[in-house]
Amino acid sequence: MKIVVSGTGYVGLVTGACLAEVGHSVTCVDINEEKVELMKKGVSPIYEPGLDEILLSNYKKGILNFTADFVQAYSDADVIFIGVGTPEREDGSANLEYLYAVAEQIAQNIKKDCLVVIKSTVPVGTNDYVEKYIRENLKNDVNVEVASNPEFLSQGTAIKDTLQASRIVIGVESKKSEELLKTIYERFNIPIVVTNRRSAEMIKYASNDFLALKISFINEIANVCELVGADIEDVTNGMSYDPRIGNKFLKAGIGYGGSCFPKDTKALHWLAEDNGYEIKTVKATIEVNENQKFRLFRKAKKRFNGFKNMKVAILGVTFKPGTDDLREAPSIPNVKALIEEGANVYVYDPIGINNFKTKVSGKINYSEDVQEVLKDADVAFIFTEWDTITSISLKEYRELMKTPVIFDGRNCYKLKDAEESGVEYYSIGRRDIV
Ligand code: UGA
């Protein structure tokens, strides 16, 4: 069976690599020749731990291939997985132009019966429309079906999330498509959930939006904890023993970011509205998150009465550790606001600095040395819980900074340690150490 994967971002490339890892013959298509040459050398165009090794080993075995020649690749494919981006438009809806561009290429170039599998996160109904579109634009007399197979991987743990996924969801409208996808996935030995295409599309949005809702909920509980003298870490610990609640995605912080939760909450809100329904829980999830991003900024502004000419140390800029991705990272609006306030901003991040430079302009000092960033600083903000940040001892802050005042958006330190070390420490959902 010849499998082709279109799109070499997180979803496409990890899918291609993992399908090859379990022994399928896979060709990954990307129109960028330079990227193709790099991937052949085992260099992934995205930062994802463990991916380079899988690319190289399977390329050397001859079962994973990379090409920019989509005409040739699609012509004799049995199955084409689509993993292109579906970024948000200004109104919150999903932008499907990349998806339809691939659909057009498929319609023009397939020369045998083919199953097209959409892995990208798409609004409910898209699989139906893409199938209709391809069928109406076919150049050759072949049969095409479209199936939905949403992706549940997280950046930073993408390989494990794919090879050891909690479930594989397939949305199909025919027994033939179901059997073909089951044959492809049986090697993964993971529970397979079979449903229709629209339900599969909805499973993806509902899953991501539920996780985002959990985070916004716990962030609000944290905000109330601060007002009533409770401690969010103890509260979540006490909640998590109930198996109906669990301990996952209950970490309070500075708000969620990334390429998925912000986009998928807005897209579901838009989709519901487009169908005449206001989805209030998702609306609240979005609003709470927007507000949460500035919680520490507001507290710090009050504490210092503005930031004019202060040296502000920023520790961590990526939306979470283990990725160089800056999309929707809470650090971005915070740094912009600090610059507007006249602060001298010094940024540390182990791998996110290059991407950060493309997102925020202005006078910013960058360093991959935490000590340099903290030295003589008036205040430090923690936005990402990288190991290299959580391993800094509170004593170091006290010794290096001019005034050791820390605003920790990820609750990296114990209050007892902050108290003993003599720093001034503000975190999320816990009492201030002043
Ligand atoms: C998310 C989902 O977790 C994946 O299941 C999904 O497949 C993926 O989106 C996608 O749709 O492609 P990802 O965006 O990589 O994965 O990141 P997460 O690990 O889910 O974290 C998202 C944000 O939530 C981060 O900013 C993180 O710091 C924040 N978060 C997470 C919290 O603030 N608290 C938590 O308890 C967990």
Measured in degrees and rounded to the nearest 5, phi and psi for residue 265 equal -70, -45
Mean pLDDT of 216-243: 98
Whole-number Å distance between alpha carbons of 217 and 281: 10
Mean pLDDT of 367-373: 94
Cβ 250 under 6 angstroms from ligand 1: yes
Beta-bridged to residue 183, according to DSSP, are: none
- Residues contacting residue 328 through CB under 8 Å, at least 6 positions apart: 257, 258, 259, 261, 262, 263, 319
For ligand 1, atom 24, the nearest C-alpha belongs to: 256
Task: Please state whether 226 falls in left (phi above 0), alpha (psi between -120 and 50) or beta.
Answer: alpha
Within a domain: residue 156? yes
Tens-digit pLDDT profile for residues 314-334: 999 999 999 999 999 999 999
- Coil, helix or strand at residue 55: helix
Closest of 216, 215, 279, 225 to residue 249, by C-alpha:
215
76 pLDDT exceeds 90? Answer: yes
Calculate what percentage of the chain has a pLDDT beyond 70: 100
Ligand 1 center from residue 154 Cα (angstroms)? 6
Within a domain: residue 173? yes
Q: Of 162, 177, 195, which residue constitutes the final position of a domain?
A: 195
Helix spans in 94-157 (H)? 97-109, 126-137
Residue 420: other Cβ atoms inside 10 A: 12
Tokens of 219: 């962030």
Residue 323: other Cβ atoms inside 10 A: 26
CB 399 within 8 A of CB 333: no
Closest of 175, 166, 240 to residue 207, by C-alpha:
166
Catalytic residue check, 260: yes
Q: Of 195, 224, 244, which residue constitutes the final position of a domain?
A: 195
Tokens of 434: 């002043």
Q: Are 120 and 157 found together in one domain?
A: yes
| pLDDT value for 26 | 98
Cβ 24 under 6 angstroms from ligand 1: no
Query: Residue type for 29, please?
Result: V
118 pLDDT exceeds 90? Answer: yes
Within a domain: residue 155? yes
Number of compact structural domains in the chain: 3
Within a domain: residue 433? no
CB 186 within 8 A of CB 207: no
Within a domain: residue 432? no
DSSP code for 231: -
147 pLDDT exceeds 90? Answer: yes
pLDDT interval class at 100 (50, 70, 90) = very high
Tokens of 56: 């190289």
pLDDT interval class at 336 (50, 70, 90) = very high
Write out the residue range of the structural domain in which residue 224 sits.
Answer: 203-291
Whole-number Å distance between alpha carbons of 178 and 72: 26
pLDDT interval class at 73 (50, 70, 90) = very high
Q: Are 109 and 179 found together in one domain?
A: yes
Q: Which atom of ligand 1 lies at the shortest distance from residue 204's CA?
A: 11
Mean pLDDT of 82-111: 94
Mean pLDDT of 117-141: 97
88 pLDDT exceeds 90? Answer: no
Q: Are 14 and 139 found together in one domain?
A: yes
Tens-digit pLDDT profile for residues 48-65: 999 999 999 999 999 999
Q: Best of 159, 168, 211, 259 to mutate for ligand 1, by most ligand atoms within 8 A of CB? A: 211
Within a domain: residue 434? no
Q: Of 291, 310, 330, which residue constitutes the final position of a domain?
A: 291
Mean pLDDT of 77-87: 95
Q: Are 421 and 371 found together in one domain?
A: yes
Share the mean pLDDT of the chain: 96
Cβ 154 under 6 angstroms from ligand 1: yes
Give the position of tokens 């995605």.
Answer: 249
Q: Are 139 and 104 found together in one domain?
A: yes
pLDDT interval class at 16 (50, 70, 90) = very high
Cβ 205 under 6 angstroms from ligand 1: no
Domain holding 119: CATH number?
Answer: 3.40.50.720
Q: Are 220 and 168 found together in one domain?
A: no
Q: Are 379 and 364 found together in one domain?
A: yes
Tens-digit pLDDT profile for residues 170-227: 999 999 999 999 999 999 999 999 999 999 999 999 999 999 999 999 999 999 999 9
Q: Best of 14, 46, 47, 154 to mutate for ligand 1, by most ligand atoms within 8 A of CB? A: 154
Q: Are 326 and 239 found together in one domain?
A: no
Domain holding 256: CATH number?
Answer: 1.10.1040.10
Q: Are 313 and 417 found together in one domain?
A: yes
Within a domain: residue 103? yes
Pairing of β 311-315 and β 424-426: unpaired
Q: Are 137 and 169 found together in one domain?
A: yes
Q: Are 323 and 283 found together in one domain?
A: no
Q: Are 175 and 59 found together in one domain?
A: yes
Whole-number Å distance between alpha carbons of 31 and 40: 14
92 pLDDT exceeds 90? Answer: no
- Rounded to 5°, angle at Cα 70 from 12 and 27: 50
Within a domain: residue 227? yes
Closest of 37, 428, 386 to residue 406, by C-alpha:
428
